[in-house]
């Protein structure tokens, strides 16, 4: 079986969800005592968060490239980043490694395209919602347009992610706020909503929603497993 290299710790709770999901998928597909072959490099998110807030994305890119090379040298056959926001520097990372890189937007965009949707809502960190690295890739590569919440709602969501979810705090008030954002995006014409932050599924379960939600953690993890199993069958 091929080995998945994971850059995690952003946050460690969502990285844990990746680890559980990928092992469950391998167990379900292969049975027996099989588990997912993976190597995770878990960063200290405090250091990354400070660089984000200071806009020092060049330093984040340098660090992620270094970690990606470590995982490659350790035997990873595929690299993934267990974070939507850090994909802002994904192109730099992919350029500097020689193993395949699985982009979270591609895993998400392919699933949305498969269903045939063309307009979706996007929820995530302020960086993910406001900058072009995520929305631009969806539009240019998959023809999918995105709708984002209002400015005050984006700030509210940023607060929920960084002051609650990353610290493992979930409460009904924030859950209701998130559900209301989803409903408003649907009213504005979205055909579904991307949970474009790996922490958001900790607060809202797509199984409990009457709206179509795209859990990027789940889609990314599934795509990684499909990749390594496909590669295995070809060898």
Q: Which residues of 30-65 are buried (b: 16+ CB within 10 A; e: fewer)?
A: eeeeeebbbbbbbbebeebeebbeeeebeebbebbb
Within 10 Å of residue 220's Cβ, how many Cβ atoms?
27
Q: What is the pLDDT of residue 210?
A: 75
The secondary structure element, H or E, covering residue 7 is: strand 4-8
Quote the CA–CA distance of 43 and 51 in Å, as a whole number: 13
Quote the CA–CA distance of 226 and 11 in Å, as a whole number: 24
The answer to whether residues 190 and 204 belong to one domain is yes
The answer to whether residues 130 and 204 belong to one domain is yes
The answer to whether residues 86 and 64 belong to one domain is yes
For residue 80, report the phi and psi dihedrals to the nearest 5 degrees.
-130, 155
158 is in which domain, residue-wise? Answer: 105-215
Domain total for the chain? 2
The answer to whether residues 120 and 199 belong to one domain is yes
Kindly list the averaged pLDDT for each block of 10 residues, start to end, along the chain of length 235: 96 93 96 96 96 96 98 98 97 97 98 97 96 96 97 96 92 94 96 95 80 94 95 59
The secondary structure element, H or E, covering residue 41 is: strand 38-42
SS3 177: helix
Q: What is the pLDDT of residue 102?
A: 98
Q: What is the pLDDT of residue 39?
A: 98
Q: What is the pLDDT of residue 92?
A: 97
**DSSP type of residue 214:** E
CATH number for the domain spanning 118: value is: 3.40.50.1860
């Amino acid at each position: 079986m091929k080995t998945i290299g994971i850059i995690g710790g952003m946050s460690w709770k969502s990285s844990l969800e990746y680890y559980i999901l990928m092992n469950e998928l391998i167990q379900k597909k292969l049975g027996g005592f099989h588990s997912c072959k993976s190597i995770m490099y878990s960063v200290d998110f405090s250091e990354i968060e400070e660089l984000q807030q200071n806009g020092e994305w060049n330093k984040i890119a340098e660090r992620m490239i270094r970690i990606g090379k470590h995982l490659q040298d350790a035997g990873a056959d595929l690299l993934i980043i267990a974070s939507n926001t850090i994909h802002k520097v994904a192109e730099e990372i992919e350029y500097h490694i020689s193993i395949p890189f699985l982009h979270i937007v591609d895993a998400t965009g392919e699933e949305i395209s498969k269903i045939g949707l063309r307009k979706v809502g996007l929820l995530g960190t302020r960086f993910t919602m406001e900058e072009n690295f995520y929305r631009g890739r969806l539009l240019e590569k998959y023809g999918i347009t995105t709708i984002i919440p209002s400015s005050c709602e984006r700030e509210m969501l940023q607060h929920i992610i960084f002051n609650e979810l990353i610290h493992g705090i979930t409460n009904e008030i924030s859950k209701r706020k998130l559900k209301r954002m989803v409903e408003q995006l649907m009213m504005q014409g979205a055909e579904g909503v991307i949970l474009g932050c790996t922490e958001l599924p900790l607060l809202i379960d797509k199984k409990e929603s009457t709206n179509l939600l795209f859990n990027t953690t789940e889609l990314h993890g599934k795509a990684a497993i499909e990749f390594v199993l496909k590669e295995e069958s070809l060898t």
